[in-house]
Structure 1
Amino acid sequence: MLIKTGALQLELTEMPVKVQISLDVGHRDRSSASSAGRKEQTMNSVTSPEKETPGAQEKVNNAATKLIVITCLVLLGLVPLSLIRSVLSERRMRHREAIENITSTWGNAQTIAGPVLVVPYYHQVKVWKEQSVAGQTERIETSERVLGQAYFLPEDLAVEGDLKPERLHRSIYEAIVFRSSLKLSGQFAPPSFEGLKAADADVQWDEAVLMMSITDLRGANQTLSLEWNGERIPLVPGGAALPIGPVVHARVPGVTAKSKSLTFQLTFSVNGSESLRFAPFGMQNRVRLTSSFPDPSFQGSFLPVHRKVTPAGFEADWEVSYYGRAYPQRWSDSDPDPFKGDAFRNSLFGVTVVPVVDSYRLVERSIKYGILFLALVFSAFFVFEVRWPVRVHPVQYTLVGAALCLFYLALLSLSEVISFGWAYLVGAAASTLLVAGYSAFMLGAVRRALLVGLGLAAIYGYIYIILRQQDYALLYGTAALFAMLAAAMYATRNINWYRTQTPAQKPSDIP
């Protein structure tokens, strides 16, 4: 009993010990597991990327959707820009029609070619004639005496001219025309018929004439005067045909093969527009032009050897020899066409008196920046949405895009009645104020609207500088794009695009 009781007591006293021991071991095992779990969780938090929650994933999807919508709206902006470009083409055509209407009554582009000494002569030519012999038709070669023309160009040709530009208006359109006062002087060598197969007796020296070509004789509003060997002779329209345009002529005395000096001087005024060009008909040609037009453009196969261009006008001197042309110093009408192909046109040189860059061309160049303008402004609003708790609806993007496109239509309409600089200033100011004022309500803060307004003003100003550049426009435009890309990268440097509403964690912030 006692033993049993003792045994029972022993069992009763040992069981709690065993239980206690087992409980202690289990407690220690759970503590170790908990500690290991915390360490593993800590390690996982450092080494493993954080899993996206459904809310963060939704924000990523919203940002991607908004970017797609913005891209579509930017591409949609090509529609109004193309419509404005078609309006520009129509207005440019109307402007061209108005200019042609003005110049058709004043004088078109003028080309002065000459003078040319023309001497008629008789010469024999072989011809085939048909005659009936014994009831049969035979062809017989024979010769006929026909009248031909021999053409001689001057040895020396000097031109002095002064251009006085004027502005004529038709409705709201303006055309630049000019009055030119010209003096042509020089001398001819005694005409030589060597190689033309004409005996001296066949040359009609008394019928020699001096001819000069003027493209648009309607611009000659005064009598054309010729001084030949000191004798004054009037020029009359018409004469032997030249393959270079309308001519005036005068019969000149004293022309023989033994003439020692055949000097000439032509003094006249002619109205024109767009350009004044000359043909290097002399063996040695010297041309000097002066004008009060401040923006000349020297055109043709030869450029001035000396030039001086100032806001008060220009002076230009050409020196051209007959080696630079592709037609001979003399020819006859029995010879092939001396002005083969474009030989005559390719020898011309002179000056153009139209603005180098007109307002329509500047508007066209500015429209080319329209799609870039839309992309920059829409990107700025998207950054506002990402960095601050604001929402911009696609309809609001569309209204802002319409305001930006309307600027180009305003620029086109204003530049037709005022200077391009003032038209650009008024259009840019109106567009900037409209977008900035709307942004104050759209972005919910005046400070943000001021940022938008300052950004628009800066972009408009820089594009105006680019438009005024003729040689460095591409360089300036590339530099601007690089600066804008750098600014966009700097503004979004701390944005975590996987969680668009919170900045990215730095490694030092991770426990």
Structure 2
Amino acid sequence: MEQQQPNKFLQKIKTSITSRMVMIGVLSFILMIPLMYIEGLIEERSYHQKNVVNEISKQWGNEVAVYGPILKIPYKIYKEKVITNEKTKQVTTELIENIKYGYFFPDKLDINSNINPEQKKRGIYSTAVFNSNISISGEFKTIDFSKIEVNRENILWNKCKIIFKTTNVKGISTNLSIKINNKDYSLSSADFKKARNKDFYTLETNFLSFKELKKTEEKVLFSLGFKVKGSKDVRFIPIGKETKAQIVSSWKTANFMGEFLPYNPDKINKNGFNAKWKVLDINRPFSQEHFDGLPHLNEFDFGVNFKIPVDEYQKSLRSAKYGFLVISLTFLIFFLIQTISKINMHPFQYLMIGLALLMFYTLLVSISEHSNFLKAYTIASISVIGLITFYSKSILKNIKFMILIFLSLTILYTFIFIIIQLESYALLVGSIGLFIILAAIMLISRKIDWSIN
């Protein structure tokens, strides 16, 4: 009789609802350990992809941002310096000459760009690169020194320069020159220490000496064109008092970015896009002339992003974030079936089901590296749902329960996929879906006799 008492105790633990719930909870938390490793693997693969993309971009040519052309005019200012003779104590004043610079933006700036994108691959990774033809034209009309009240005699008209800034000098494949009033001036890199400033390289002409600048009613016309290889995006800074820009490309998935968006409603077509911008000086918070150095205006740029729009690793990582929910709900479904049908399930069988659920994420990542996310998700979910469904047939011994497991997992994985695809409505749809799941569980659990603990 003494030996039968422990056997009854063990049998009670095996059939106890409470002990089953504790066992399922412990197994769920144990499975979180490999799930975290899987999330780390996805992040590692994503990091490696970014390194490969950055390497391709660096070799081909980085993003293209254009800031210019800008008229740089030096001028003299004089400051009085008081000098005291220590021996005679005589005080004299001396005028000290300093050279300052005024920076003037064009009154009209017209930008036209034709971009031909392509995909570059290295191994299983790919990124978008492009060849572009950019032409810029416009005019300087107002050269206004009234803000600092400098005498025009102190303006060094024969020491003027045109400067031009860009983030990508490596990708330029043509000699760069600017035409000023039908005369060509070469643009070359400034002193290296001064050339790189806030991600922009500075190109400048030699000294210009044209009499038109002295006459405020005369226009100074300019034009330049160049070819440049780049990647990621093309951006322009609207420094013209009136800036017009047009970008034409065969890229199918245009992602317009920056402070200003195109104004033409028919910008996207079946052949790509033809985007147009118009920005006036009143639309941006900076003036046409600057005397305290050239400002950094990166935050006011606009353009087009050419990155490949689908990030498979990001979607895979979002799927893995729902891993605990998938494991918990799947275990809960088996628990309800086991409890209602009085079928005993061993903890090892729960463990096998949990490991099968984890295999979904490794399949998803590995397949998505060679295909798109939809195909990878479909293959991985069908594989895991099929494996667990047929495994449940041997456990539950009933075709009705096998169909229930199949339908439940299919709905669950479909629900997760819909949430991943949504952005603005992900929280709303997720909340409604979880509410429905909770209501269904509460409805089914009414049939359980919780007094058997």
Shorter-chain TM range is 0.7 to 0.9
Would you say the 8 A contact 1:60–1:499 is kept in 2?
A: no
Candidates 424, 436, 450, aligned match of 2:389: 436
Partners of 1:128 and 1:61 in 2: CA distance: 101
Deviation at 1:433, TM superposition (A): 1.9
Q: Which one has more relative contact order, counting CA pairs under 8 Å at least 6 apart?
A: 2
Deviation at 1:422, TM superposition (A): 1.7
Q: Would you say 1:70 and 2:24 are equivalent positions?
A: yes
Q: Would you say 1:87 and 2:41 are equivalent positions?
A: yes
Provide closer, same or farther for how the CA distance between residues 384 and 61 of structure 1 changes in structure 2, counting only shifts above 3 A: closer
Would you say the 8 A contact 1:466–1:473 is kept in 2?
A: yes
Deviation at 1:365, TM superposition (A): 0.9
Partners of 1:85 and 1:484 in 2: CA distance: 25
What are the residue-to-residue correspondences of 1:463-502 with 2, within 5 Å? 463-498=416-451
In structure 2, the partner of 1:274 is 232
Larger radius of gyration: 1
Provide closer, same or farther for how the CA distance between residues 59 and 75 of structure 1 changes in structure 2, counting only shifts above 3 A: closer
Q: Would you say 1:107 and 2:61 are equivalent positions?
A: yes
Paired amino acid for 2:274: E
Candidates 245, 249, 255, aligned match of 1:287: 245
Paired amino acid for 2:201: P
In structure 1, the partner of 2:143 is 191
In structure 1, the partner of 2:105 is 153
Candidates 202, 213, 219, aligned match of 1:256: 213
Deviation at 1:393, TM superposition (A): 1.1
In structure 2, the partner of 1:246 is 201
Deviation at 1:378, TM superposition (A): 0.5
Partners of 1:163 and 1:309 in 2: CA distance: 14
What are the residue-to-residue correspondences of 1:210-359 with 2, within 5 Å? 210-238=162-190, 245-251=200-206, 252=208, 254=210, 255-258=212-215, 260-307=218-265, 308-310=267-269, 312-332=271-291, 335=292, 337=293, 339=295, 344-359=297-312
Would you say the 8 A contact 2:127–2:308 is kept in 1?
A: no
Partners of 2:147 and 2:400 in 1: CA distance: 90
Which range moved further: 410-419 or 442-451?
A: 442-451
Provide closer, same or farther for how the CA distance between residues 207 and 68 of structure 1 changes in structure 2, counting only shifts above 3 A: same
Would you say the 8 A contact 1:60–1:498 is kept in 2?
A: no
Residue ranges of structure 2 left out of the alignment (5+ in a row): 1-7
Which range moved further: 431-440 or 441-450?
A: 441-450
Deviation at 1:380, TM superposition (A): 0.9
Provide closer, same or farther for how the CA distance between residues 319 and 490 of structure 1 changes in structure 2, counting only shifts above 3 A: same
Which range moved further: 471-480 or 361-370?
A: 471-480
Partners of 2:213 and 2:268 in 1: CA distance: 45
Paired amino acid for 2:31: G
Deviations 1:25-67 (A, max 9, x none): xxxxxxxxxxxxxxxxxxxxxxxxxxxxx99x95997012111
Paired amino acid for 1:298: F
Give the alignment's TM-score, normalised by structure 1. 0.78
The size of the alignment, in residue pairs, is 438
Partners of 1:316 and 1:140 in 2: CA distance: 64
Deviation at 1:321, TM superposition (A): 2.1
Deviation at 1:257, TM superposition (A): 1.9
User: 3-state DSSP class of the match of 1:399?
Assistant: helix
Would you say the 8 A contact 1:111–1:278 is kept in 2?
A: yes
Partners of 2:322 and 2:271 in 1: CA distance: 34
Provide closer, same or farther for how the CA distance between residues 344 and 203 of structure 1 changes in structure 2, counting only shifts above 3 A: same
User: 3-state DSSP class of the match of 1:442?
Assistant: helix
Provide closer, same or farther for how the CA distance between residues 475 and 265 of structure 1 changes in structure 2, counting only shifts above 3 A: same
User: 3-state DSSP class of the match of 1:218?
Assistant: coil
Provide closer, same or farther for how the CA distance between residues 356 and 195 of structure 1 changes in structure 2, counting only shifts above 3 A: same
Percent of aligned pairs with the same amino acid: 29
Candidates 78, 98, 101, aligned match of 1:124: 78
Which range moved further: 110-119 or 157-166?
A: 157-166
Paired amino acid for 1:215: T
In structure 2, the partner of 1:203 is 155
User: 3-state DSSP class of the match of 1:108?
Assistant: coil
Deviation at 1:381, TM superposition (A): 0.5
In structure 2, the partner of 1:379 is 332
